[in-house]
Amino acid sequence: MTMKVKVAITSTAVVVLVVLATVMITASTYGLTELVFAQAAPKFVINLTGSEEVPPVQTEATGVIEISLTPNSVGYSINATNLDGVTAGHVHLGKKGENGPVVVTLFKYDSPMNEVSENGTITANKLEGPMTGKQLSDYLAAGANGSLYINIHTERNPNGEIRGQSGAN
């Protein structure tokens, strides 16, 4: 009896995810995005820690990025503390446990900074690396399936001191 209930719950969850994905793809394809987002911009929060880095980094630094979606852009606000010598913040293409190329530069400092408090907007023309020339919907699909991560780089950890994975929180 327990096995049947678990299978039914799992099957229902899969069906719900497929329906939601279909609605979003249909809305994007047929220009209904404004209707889908008319109620309120969806918001997401991703926590950034050293333990998410590959390999993990021992650090007291932590951060959070808040993401809001609109029909033609992705807004973000990123804050991080206990950091010294911050050089840049990027969105990278890579699943959990993998490192990958930069696809969006969130910020870059000419002179290293301590702490981070930045906000901005990502549009299709800001996509870079393997996402150059792609649509914002391609970027959003990668984020939804957990293939993007946010990374803050420092002088001490140029490959990244804190990281947070999309679709993982």
Q: Tens digits of per-residue pLDDT, 40-68?
A: 668 899 999 999 999 999 999 999 999 99
* Domain edges within the chain: 1-39, 40-165
Query: Was domain 40-165 assigned CATH 2.60.40?
Result: yes
Q: Which residue, 23, 19, 28, is CA-closest to 139? A: 28
Give the per-residue pLDDT at 112. 96
Cα(15)–Cα(27) distance, rounded to whole angstroms? 18
CB 26 within 8 A of CB 32: yes
pTM: 0.75
Q: Is the peptide bond before 158 cis (omega within 30 degrees of 0)?
A: no
pLDDT digits (tens, 9 = 90+) for 82-97: 999 999 999 999 999 9
